[in-house]
Chain A
């Protein structure tokens, strides 16, 4: 085990143990941390697609919503166990992301807008297919996370353990892809896609794999959220917030780094809800906006690269 992996393992262990030990009795703070980590999960998936696939997405709400509905319906209509339905929801999000393959020919803002359009299409489908999704009325009483090995995963501390495990798996997967020869090829594609194709790299296939991986991660996070909040409706599941907030979090933390999106999501969500909201109970989003504007002006690479530069 190299030093970096050792540090990651120590940090992960501390995260597993320390947070529930300190905040376990405070449902409110645990709830906020879980909400922040949900945003972090989408932010990792978004950063992966942007960094490795070279595609900027404005529509991750599409995968999030599909994953949410898939898991809710598998558990409610077919009686699947929640822990089996969640990865299956990720696969269903992958299946739906295949509909976006034609958009891979596009790049930059055109790809971003195409994905945004897909998110809207999926939202309308969820509204119109009321025989399956109960339409705009939505689904309530979605089964909660189960008890496993004596741990109630539906409790705040249990849900925290699940989301931290998911994020750790996502980061490990992201790191592996980045280090692998696929990662090298993807980075080469950023400089010149044509040159990479000349040397025999199937760029379309690689981009498709990144889209599928990003969709899977977001779908699983959507499923987790559905079983935590126990309620879904199309406007909520496919809401623009699930696309925008993770982008803000990833950029805030440093979207080119592995842990930047997680740090960004924790910072913006917790600072906003714990500090800004207590200072300005209504309209606290203004303070968050000012903070974000300042970050973009003074540290465009994000919080983590800024911290590293200061300590270099």
Chain B
């Protein structure tokens, strides 16, 4: 009797022991210093939030992040990938800017490890035929967003001012090809990334093109230069529209005289508000971890991290993780996320991706105005910063 009691107690004790979750190391190669540091830091914070929420909600598997700063340098990005691979990571998440993601994902492909990103939209990245490369956003998603906005506003003519950098030039040319068949008149104006005086281009637009809208495919400093020049020359347009890094709280705060009524791509309104419970949980966790509001970079970082971690768990459950099954598992992804539905095609691209368009409005707010079914407010049109 005593022996039976002893065995019963031991069995009960064994059952009550905590089960140890299997831990998987995921490599994060990201720019935390150098020219891309601001965007890279935002993405990394999103990835950390995804790992925090995954680990909290998953008793069976844990994700451990191993991060290496690529210093915004392609050679150091390759070294980072090789260093993390030597540490035994099961996959990579991160990267920012196509010129860095390209060599880094080449290295991960040679090592046979999955590379998941949201920081490079260059079309060439998905033309390499890699089975290990995945990204949640692409130029097409930005192009769709701008085409949708122009359609909703009923615009008939656009002057496109674009930097000759790869992503900006790709977007401008894709947009030109998409708008022509819709009967929208498009004039193209390329500029070297080194120029700072945009008055000659704006003057040409004012006197020659006379469009309804100026569209900028460029980066932060370029936007400031273009809008400043436009504010001086005051072309008779109805709207000024840009893309990434424009409809942000930081731009509203740093350039309050230049931003009113300007449009830019944005997944989030400011102040941040989420309709779905998942979004609210993300924002809450992010605020708790970093004591600030999340921005769209963090949101992209969160989504790519979340999808990769979930695929790792599924692959581990299926026993395929160590046999190279992670890429196949990621390719099965089909779910709604904070940036919309995500699936991956054979090239690793997300064909569903579509950006949203936000507008800087009164009180430093950023209101999502397009597409209409996602809008958090109404567009001020015509509306200009001057």
Name A residues whose Cβ lies closer than 8 Å to a Cβ of B. Answer: 26-28, 31-32, 35, 124, 127-128, 130, 135-138, 140-141, 225, 229-231, 233, 235-236, 241, 273, 277, 281-283, 285
Name B residues whose Cβ lies closer than 8 Å to a Cβ of A. Answer: 32-33, 67-69, 73-76, 78-79, 82-83, 85-86, 99, 102-103, 106, 111, 122, 124, 128, 163-166, 169-170, 192-194
A residues near B82, Cβ cutoff 8 Å: 27-28, 31
Query: Which B-chain residue is minimally distant from A38 (CB atoms)?
Result: B75
B residues near A236, Cβ cutoff 8 Å: 74, 99
**Are A32 and B79 in contact, with the CB atoms below 8 A?**
yes
* Closest 6 pairs (CB-CB, A-B): A137-B166, A28-B82, A28-B83, A27-B82, A136-B164, A136-B165
Q: Can you pick out 30 interface pairs between chain A and chain B where the beta carbons lie within 8 Å of each other?
A: A26-B86, A27-B82, A27-B85, A31-B78, A31-B79, A31-B82, A124-B192, A127-B164, A130-B164, A135-B164, A135-B169, A136-B192, A137-B122, A137-B165, A137-B166, A137-B170, A140-B102, A141-B124, A225-B75, A229-B74, A229-B78, A231-B106, A233-B99, A235-B193, A236-B74, A241-B73, A273-B76, A277-B69, A281-B32, A283-B33
Expressed in whole angstroms, the Cα–Cα distance for A121 and B138 within the complex equals 33
A residues near B67, Cβ cutoff 8 Å: 281
**Are B192 and A229 in contact, with the CB atoms below 8 A?**
no
**Are A282 and B102 in contact, with the CB atoms below 8 A?**
no
B residues near A136, Cβ cutoff 8 Å: 163-166, 169, 192-193
**Are B69 and A281 in contact, with the CB atoms below 8 A?**
yes
**Are A229 and B75 in contact, with the CB atoms below 8 A?**
yes
Binding site secondary structure of chain A: helix
**Are B69 and A282 in contact, with the CB atoms below 8 A?**
yes
B residues near A135, Cβ cutoff 8 Å: 164, 169
**Are A282 and B33 in contact, with the CB atoms below 8 A?**
yes
Query: Which B-chain residue is minimally distant from A120 (CB atoms)?
Result: B194
**Are A28 and B192 in contact, with the CB atoms below 8 A?**
no
**Are B103 and A231 in contact, with the CB atoms below 8 A?**
yes
**Are B192 and A128 in contact, with the CB atoms below 8 A?**
yes
Expressed in whole angstroms, the Cα–Cα distance for A230 and B128 within the complex equals 13
Expressed in whole angstroms, the Cα–Cα distance for A65 and B163 within the complex equals 22
A residues near B166, Cβ cutoff 8 Å: 136-138, 233
**Are A137 and B169 in contact, with the CB atoms below 8 A?**
yes
Expressed in whole angstroms, the Cα–Cα distance for A210 and B102 within the complex equals 37
Give B188 Cβ to nearest chain A Cβ, in Å: 14
| Besides A28-B85, A282-B33, 16 other A-B contacts (C-beta < 8 A) | A28-B83, A31-B79, A31-B82, A136-B164, A136-B165, A136-B192, A136-B193, A138-B99, A141-B124, A141-B128, A229-B103, A231-B106, A233-B99, A273-B79, A281-B32, A282-B69
Expressed in whole angstroms, the Cα–Cα distance for A230 and B76 within the complex equals 14
Q: Which listed residue (B68, B103, B111) contacts A230, Cβ 8 A?
A: B103
Expressed in whole angstroms, the Cα–Cα distance for A283 and B69 within the complex equals 10
A residues near B164, Cβ cutoff 8 Å: 127, 130, 135-137
**Are A127 and B32 in contact, with the CB atoms below 8 A?**
no
Expressed in whole angstroms, the Cα–Cα distance for A272 and B135 within the complex equals 32
**Are B32 and A282 in contact, with the CB atoms below 8 A?**
yes
B residues near A138, Cβ cutoff 8 Å: 99, 166
Q: Which listed residue (B33, B99, B194) contacts A231, Cβ 8 A?
A: B99
Give A260 Cβ to nearest chain B Cβ, in Å: 23
Most buried by B among A35, A140, A281: A140
Give A105 Cβ to nearest chain B Cβ, in Å: 29
